[in-house]
Structure 1
Amino acid sequence: MTVKLIATDMDGTFLDNHGEYDRPRFTKIYRALQQRGIQFVIASGHQAVELADYFADYPDMWLIGGNGAELLNARVGLSAETFTPSATAQVLAGLAPYPELQLALCGTRTVYVAQNANPSFVAQMRDYYYQLETVADLTTVTEPVVKFDVICPPEKTDQLVYELTPKLAGIAVPVSGGQGSMDLIQPGMHKGRALKRLGQRLGIAPTEMLAFGDGTNDLEMFHYVKTGVAMQNAPANVKANAAAVTGTNLDGGVLSYIEQHVLEA
């Protein structure tokens, strides 16, 4: 297989359940990929600036943040596409009838949550995002929004995606990140589109790309690249859209696949 770019999701894919990965093993693999001229790309719902912090030892790495809205390379800088103020207001109005939802507005650097939000939700967001601020009213946030992070009752996730999809049509697209969470992203703004932009910039065709993921927000990557690889811990619908399945995020499934099918090929 001719591979010039490898993209991977973070949570549930590249990282274990403690937010870690085998650093010495990855460093060895990353150096081998560099020697072969293969780009390694992180594609995540995390903010790009947070990803840059996390992978500061690899300044040549390209980072896709905000589920496709952000593209960052430490040597090149950050580009981001954001919701218009009117679209942000429409999304907030559309979510108002759902008091069971916990909501975070994600800018390129700061994430905003309501002061009266559930404390456990606030703690969860502090663990996940680079910089968090609480505000009395989310409608007063003026920083451009990259995406909305929504936590919901796990048993209602699919139904909420079903209801919100037509309700927010043309404004935002609900994408499940697993039972109990979803992102609202800009229409047409997903990881697959970001890979297309990056590929055009680097002169790499989708037939030369490989992508790993475990959630429905990774499906656009699978559909764009030649080889989409699902994690063993991914739900059935994600596996059904993949060309291959590797191990779980707990046993280094991404690194094992790269070693066996890219570096040893």
Structure 2
Amino acid sequence: MTLRIAVQIQPQHADYSAIRDAVRRSEDLGVDIIFNWDHFFPLRGDADGKHFECWTMLGAWAEQTERVEIGALVTCNSYRNPDLLADMARTVDHMSGGRLILGIGAGWFERDYDDFGYEFGTAGARIADLAEAMPRIKARWAASNPTPTRDIPILIGGGGEKKTLRIVAEHADAWHSFGDVTTLRRKSAILDEHGAAVGRDTATLVERSIGVSAPPEAVAQPLVDAGATLFTIGASGPDYDLSLVEKWIAWRDAQR
């Protein structure tokens, strides 16, 4: 698969004007994908700092950008009815001219659930809800008028070896791994075992995605050797420093 670079514009600790500018700068730099995240409060820094909602923002990005793919890394399945989420994704897909990626996961940030009135429950229950949601999302897309502009790529984030990776094997076009190169390699092999069990060649059909926080010369080659082809650099407000993103783009371009 082609090596790709993404930036996660974390919607925290900034006015929206700074987020809009970071998106513009990211596209101008040449990133392949711009992600945000699906939370209601900052994950780092001042826990009550400035923060904005995921999907409203993706609609704005669909109109603001021209070339990059956009999506959430990742949407929390618990926060929206799966049929509603599918229709939101279909709409942003059309708004963007076919550039949306549906990044989705089971959810984990308990404060979001508590403050917004969602039942947190257990990790097992949230993963089961995700498994139930995936065919509903696909069925809603198929029944929509108009249907999506393309088969919207599905990226699933999570590392549960028995359940989450099974859902990845059944439904995902990309898998986002949380962890180091050893974790990526081990869980990637488990994903392929699940793929064989469900009849999908996940080694060639499911892209491996991972977050990076160090320069490429320090970490890129071992991650590539472990199968990663999509590398995401996080950037937070208020200033959205993209200097590390520039280094990864230069590395990507040197490989082509």
TM-score between the two structures when normalised by the length of structure 2: 0.36
Query: Structure with the greater relative contact order (CA < 8 A, sep ≥ 6): 1 or 2?
Result: 2
TM-score between the two structures when normalised by the length of structure 1: 0.35
Structure 1 or 2: more strand by fraction:
1
